[in-house]
Amino acid sequence: MLYDIAIIGAGPAGCTLARLLDRKYKVLLIDKRDITSENCNSKCCGGLLAPDAQEMLGRMGLVIPSSVLVDPQLFLVRTIDFDNRIERYYQRFYFNMDRLVFEQWLLSQVPANTDLALGCTFKNCEYIGEGVRFSFTYKGKSYRENARIIIGADGGHSLVRKSVFPDKKMPETYVAVQEWFETENSMPWYGAIFDSTITDFYSWTITKGKVLIIGSALKKNNLALDRFKMLKMKLRDNGLVYGKKILREGAFILRPNSISSIITGNDYCALVGEAAGFVSPSSAEGISYALKSAYHLASALNEGLDNFQSRYSKSVSKLKLSLFGKNLKCPGMYNRFLRGMVMRSGLMATDILF
Ligand SMILES: Cc1cc2nc3c(=O)[nH]c(=O)nc-3n(C[C@H](O)[C@H](O)[C@H](O)COP(=O)(O)OP(=O)(O)OC[C@H]3O[C@@H](n4cnc5c(N)ncnc54)[C@H](O)[C@@H]3O)c2cc1C
């Protein structure tokens, strides 16, 4: 075997895993994007670093450089409930980040003995007895490589998960659409919009410098873009001011509404981060889960490659429990009547003075 461990995906999960793996291993880290390039597409993401993710970075001794942050910093969530025609503000502490700069910084923490293969797209893999043979393309040409263990850190649309576990249930999958608009207005909040005619998940607005992002996690069907248009019209009617469109981007996002859809892998393949199904079903926050699951996987692998899977699946039981808790929270957020009651009560809401 050329490699002990091949990691597919250099997002928060893949980079964290590569950073924490014992130097005794020969490690390959592949990503279809060349994340180091200035022209690289940023992963479609709100780029908000939630307190759980901040805490995990701190626990791992990592200091976020200020170059990762963008204006404005956000301390409030403006919750707009179009179903019940009510708005409230809630205090929350996020770091507002440039997602690509965050990923570039995470990648810069990967040790030099890791082989990096950027611009390489994983295609498929097969079990060959003592390990895995996998194929990928680079600049249109196909290549093959072997590793004892393959790691799917390739996000919500994981091809590794689909190749190795084609029959296993996928968490419910939404299509997230984001559009970027020019704006002159900086807002000290992030908008969370609930409207059951648009989606049974939620939509959001975030300002980053001179850009306003409008996004929504939509049911995967041919009405998704019409619903997104309707969302923009409703927000304009509600007073949101924005200028010329700069770009539209999209990504799949998982919503694991049952713990059984989370898969950590088998003896020759591990799934980590969103590929495993670790992402909040209530807020779609996934960076903290990517960091935490990568930490647990690295700890399991660093004890040896034999039997690592049983150690890994045991150590993520707390993460699964946390997702179970987030699912319990969902009715209070997504049931129109319960949400209306909670918001009308003003419970935990912040009085606005402007
Ligand atoms: C619209 C949107 C907004 C979001 N906003 C937030 C937010 O504000 N805060 C938050 O905490 N979470 C947010 N999330 C969730 C968060 O982005 C993910 O849960 C998190 O990035 C998961 O990290 P990961 O490393 O598991 O996967 P990813 O970040 O998805 O990384 C996967 C990597 O694998 C690579 N890859 C994929 N397929 C292949 C392949 N075939 N071959 C090679 N490489 C491949 C990709 O290029 C990527 O770099 C959002 C998600 C979406 C879709």
Give the DSSP letter of residue 42. Answer: P
Spatial separation of the C-alpha atoms in residues 98 and 208, rounded to whole Å: 8
CA nearest to 180, candidates 337, 28, 70, 306: 70
Residue ranges per structural domain of the chain: 3-344
| pLDDT value at residue 354 | 78
**What is 3-344's CATH number, 3.30.70.360, 3.50.50.60, 3.30.465.10, 3.40.630.30?**
3.50.50.60
Reply yes or no: is the peptide bond before residue 331 cis, omega within 30 of 0. Answer: no
CA of 292 relative to ligand 1 center, distance in Å = 14
- Please indicate whether residue 330, judged by its CB atom, sits closer than 6 Å to ligand 1: no
| pLDDT value at residue 163 | 96
Question: Which one-letter amino acid corresponds to residue 210?
Answer: K
| pLDDT value at residue 38 | 85
Spatial separation of the C-alpha atoms in residues 344 and 120, rounded to whole Å: 51
CA of 171 relative to ligand 1 center, distance in Å = 15
Please tell me the residue having the least CA distance from ligand 1 atom 15.
286
Q: How many CA atoms within 13 Å lie on the side-chain side of 98? A: 17
Please tell me the residue having the least CA distance from ligand 1 atom 26.
273
CA of 11 relative to ligand 1 center, distance in Å = 6
- Please indicate whether residue 175, judged by its CB atom, sits closer than 6 Å to ligand 1: no
| pLDDT value at residue 230 | 98
Where are the extended beta strands (E) located within 9-99? 27-31, 48-49, 74-81, 86-96
Strand-pairing partners, residue 118, are: 31
Those residues whose C-beta lies under 8 Å from the C-beta of residue 149, and which sit 6 or more positions away, are 4, 5, 6, 131, 132, 268, 269, 270, 301, 305, 308
* 339 C-beta neighbours (distance < 10 Å), count: 19
- Please indicate whether residue 159, judged by its CB atom, sits closer than 6 Å to ligand 1: yes
Please tell me the residue having the least CA distance from ligand 1 atom 50.
45
Give the DSSP letter of residue 277. Answer: T
- For 100, the token pair is 């690509």
Please tell me the residue having the least CA distance from ligand 1 atom 3.
45
Question: Which one-letter amino acid corresponds to residue 313?
Answer: S
CA nearest to 190, candidates 174, 169, 172, 213: 213
**C-beta of residue 146 within 8 angstroms of C-beta of residue 132:** yes
| pLDDT value at residue 185 | 85
| pLDDT value at residue 186 | 84
Regarding pTM above 0.85, the answer is: yes
Closest atom, ligand 1, to C-alpha of 273: 26
Strand-pairing partners, residue 215, are: 178, 204
CA of 316 relative to ligand 1 center, distance in Å = 19
Strand-pairing partners, residue 84, are: none
Per-residue tens of pLDDT for the chain, all 354 residues: 789 999 999 999 999 999 999 999 999 999 999 999 989 999 999 999 999 999 999 999 999 999 999 999 999 999 999 999 999 999 999 999 999 999 999 999 999 999 999 999 999 999 999 899 999 999 999 999 999 999 999 999 999 999 999 999 899 999 999 999 999 988 889 999 999 999 999 999 999 999 999 999 999 999 999 999 999 999 999 999 999 999 999 999 999 999 999 999 999 999 999 999 999 999 999 999 999 999 999 999 999 999 999 999 999 999 999 999 999 999 999 999 999 999 999 999 999 887
Q: Is 107 helix (H, G, I), strand (E, B) or coil?
A: helix
CA nearest to 45, candidates 156, 184, 119: 156
Strand-pairing partners, residue 214, are: 179, 205
**C-beta of residue 151 within 8 angstroms of C-beta of residue 14:** yes
